[in-house]
Chains A and B, each alone.
Chain A
């Protein structure tokens, strides 16, 4: 709901940009007032936005950020986690060590984290079903901590990174073969605050 509105705001901004023409670039463009809350269909629950756009009363310069990034920053937490900008870090069997591929993925994720310094992440450690239920709780903890340690070494403040192990309790792929298992041995990145 909210993201739809945000998109429409963005489109309006774009349109007004275009309407401003090519001539007077330096002139600040008025951001259009957001659609009033009352305009939403009745009976639909509207999540309370943390910073309501209604507060924009004066003319503001168009944000300099390129639009693709806007679309990330404007998405809701659930939306972000559903199509996460973070790739999971996968692990070999019975191991909590990051391999080259894992370090590459973690570095890319660190770069995103640096671009959005307000984001707080939970690193979930997951295991495949070939380990035992009990030991996997500790192994998943190891995997989450291994990724956290690596991210911290890349300069991410550790108070932005929480860890939790789910062992083999929440497989991403319920299959019982190597393609499924390799997907389930992972550190999974969940954005918990932005």
Chain B
């Protein structure tokens, strides 16, 4: 199902022959790995005016069947928000589209009107609903050349319509900006929002359970149900399991929830107390804190709990590990110099060095994915904390938050362009996301208190 298209590039004015592949995607519940690039596929990038980002318009999708009206609205809005999130495009506000007549078919797209609104690119999409099955078609048009540069068709159930929009957004970012979007990623965190009380204690204690949510805060779901303290969840790199610390046996131990199979693993069972697991980037190993030798030290084990070896050896506290993207180093928190500070050590236990020297208190280092080469952490500032970033090449530090509430527990998005963190700025403790430049803070949770977010691949 290939379609030959001719598109005129905005600035250069040269004509390039392009083939847009309209892939018949599977049900996007399990988005398949992107197909290998065909040599014949030449993406056509829509440019904006010189020096400015391209200006995108995303009107509501067209409902081809009356019962799809709601779905068409949702997909348009979610796609707009997804494209807006990466700030690669200037998104023309949707409330200004009223001057543009709505097109029922692609032939009717009023390019002149979109051009007058200043759009460089416009999305045209349709939704068809039969029973609980939907078919969604989307095209991205270059408003100047009036050519489609991106065309896809998705079909599947209507169970999670937002996922169709998320998939489009990721594919448009990939095609137009060679950028790995995060619209299909999820966050995991722990929360006391269900207000259940801890069993077996005379104190008034709220349990915490592990939750997951889409990256934009939609679809928040509880993962654990054991009515104990369940904290510090992290995603396995394949985003199919979550390792976390649970007190279900009365003391902290590491559990792995295979969330799509409903299975539970206990890799550290029976040896000391263990907490704060962190997967290596390839998912084969877990670094964690344990008191098994008498005081909090870091250990590395294979994913299944075998091959445990000790990484740190110091009478002070060593905790809160994070892996380098290559899996060859671990950054962590130690108070061996008197206060909690960030250190780096080789995964072989050698070449230890201290990173933070100007902080009075630093914790929760989190190593950025490439192409960035930095470590975000929580640094004490005034009465609370702020999220700060240490650049490994220059040794310079910059702040991401600036004292709006207390801000803790940063975690990078898989493309390194965003951070999730907790903040008290909205009253209780909530999860926020923010650009790594400190712009665009967005509240993700709105119920209960929420802690220690981690971002999936």
Contact = CB atoms under 8 A, between A and B. Distances in A.
Interface of A: 78, 81-82, 94, 122, 130-135, 137-139, 141-142, 145, 162, 164-166, 169-170, 172, 190
Nearest to B296: A138
Contact of B296 (A122, A131, A141, A190): A141
Contact size range, B: 35 or more
B320 interface: yes
A81 B198 CA distance: 15
Contacts of A135: 317, 319-320, 333, 335, 340, 363-364
B79 interface: no
A106 B395 CA distance: 45
Given A132-B378, A132-B409, A137 B252 contact: yes
B229 A169 contact: yes
Contact of B340 (A78, A122, A132, A169): A132
A139 B320 contact: no
B202 A133 contact: no
Given A134-B364, A135-B319, A138-B319, A81 B202 contact: yes
A135 B320 CA distance: 7
A137 B202 contact: no
B273 A141 contact: yes
Contact of A134 (B232, B339, B383): B232
B63 interface: no
B231 A165 contact: no
Contacts of B363: 131-132, 134-135
A164 B273 contact: yes
B408 interface: yes
B287 to A, nearest CB: 13
8 contacts: A122-B250, A134-B364, A135-B335, A135-B364, A145-B295, A164-B250, A164-B251, A170-B229
B451 interface: yes
B208 interface: yes
Interface string B192-234: 0000001001110100100000000000000000000101100
B275 interface: yes
Contacts of B202: 78, 81-82
Contacts of A169: 208, 229, 231
Interface of B: 198, 201-203, 205, 208, 229, 231-232, 245, 247, 250-252, 273, 275-276, 289, 291, 295-296, 317, 319-320, 333, 335, 339-340, 361, 363-364, 378, 383, 385, 408-409, 422, 451-452
B364 A137 contact: no
Contacts of B291: 141, 145
Given A94-B339, A166-B229, A134 B333 contact: yes
B132 to A, nearest CB: 42
A142 B231 contact: no
A130 B340 CA distance: 13
Given A137-B289, A139-B317, A169-B231, 13 more contacts: A82-B202, A132-B364, A133-B422, A134-B276, A134-B320, A135-B333, A138-B296, A141-B295, A141-B296, A142-B296, A142-B317, A169-B208, A170-B203
A138 B203 contact: no
Contact of B451 (A78, A133, A142): A133
Q: For A81, A82, A122, A142, which residue has the most chain B Cβ atoms within 10 angstroms?
A: A142
A180 to B, nearest CB: 13
Contact of A137 (B205, B275, B295, B408): B275
Contacts of A142: 295-296, 317
A145 B251 CA distance: 14
A135 B201 CA distance: 24
Contacts of B276: 134, 137
A94 B273 CA distance: 22
A97 to B, nearest CB: 12
A134 B383 CA distance: 18
A82 to B, nearest CB: 5
Most B CB atoms within 10 A — which of A78, A137, A166? A137
Nearest to B198: A170
Contacts of A138: 289, 296, 317, 319
Contacts of A166: 229, 247
B7 to A, nearest CB: 51
Nearest to A190: B201
A169 B209 CA distance: 12
B319 A132 contact: no
Contacts of B361: 94, 131-132
A137 B203 contact: no
B387 to A, nearest CB: 11
A170 B361 CA distance: 22
Nearest to A82: B202
Pairs of residues from A and B, 8 with the lowest C-beta to C-beta distance, nearest first: A132-B363, A138-B296, A138-B317, A135-B363, A134-B320, A138-B319, A81-B202, A82-B202
A192 to B, nearest CB: 8
B408 A164 contact: no
Contacts of B296: 138, 141-142
Contacts of A131: 361, 363
A133 B317 contact: no
A169 B364 CA distance: 16
Contacts of A170: 198, 203, 205, 229
A22 B358 CA distance: 78
Contacts of B383: 130
A188 to B, nearest CB: 8
